[in-house]
Amino acid sequence: MPNYQQHFETVTIASAAATSSIFQLYGHRIVGIGKPATWTAADLSLEVTVDGEATWVKVIDNAGALIKITGLSATVAEFYVVPELLDFFTADKCRIVSTNTGSEADVNQDAARTLVIVLAPLPGN
């Protein structure tokens, strides 16, 4: 039976890595992301797998622009509301990516970083 309640997932971006551990949405959507006080300067973006876990792709909007959360502080723990473009987005397996603001290349974190992902049921569930 599906879980129709809001819940939290904890993921980690390993030291010297840019992508988090995998989390599943199970018919939920991402509504917020909490990040720690220590953060190597970068934005947050999202990747999904298109074939189980072998191939990951960045989540983009219908104009081809990367959907990301910008303006993250490198020294303050913060909670970010996810862009409205993701209100109806769901997938099976996802990862959070530390992303360069300008080039949109992956940015490795200087140490392990734990993020809290807030998931809520898709509208209408």
Tokens of 84: 């409205």
Q: What proportion of the chain, given as a percentage, has pLDDT over 90?
A: 52
pLDDT digits (tens, 9 = 90+) for 26-75: 888 888 899 999 999 999 999 999 888 899 999 988 888 898 989 888 89
Tokens of 25: 């949405």
* pLDDT confidence of residue 51: 86
Name residues whose C-beta falls within 8 Å of residue 79's C-beta, 6 or more positions apart in sequence: 32, 33, 34, 35
In angstroms, the CA 13 to CA 93 distance is: 16
Q: Is residue 104 one of the residues assigned to a domain?
A: yes
Classify 56 as helix, strand or coil: strand
Q: Is residue 2 one of the residues assigned to a domain?
A: no
**For 2-16, 53-67, 80-94, 110-124, which range has the lowest pLDDT when averaged over its residues?**
80-94
Q: Cα angle at 85 between 97 and 118, to 5 degrees?
A: 55
Q: Is residue 117 one of the residues assigned to a domain?
A: yes
Report which residue type is found at 96: I
Give this prediction's pTM.
0.88
Q: What residues make up the domain containing 28?
A: 7-121
Total domains in the fold of the chain:
1
* pLDDT confidence of residue 6: 86
Here the CATH number for the domain that contains residue 81 is 2.60.120
* pLDDT confidence of residue 1: 39
Say if CB 59 and CB 48 are below 8 A apart: yes
Q: Is residue 1 one of the residues assigned to a domain?
A: no
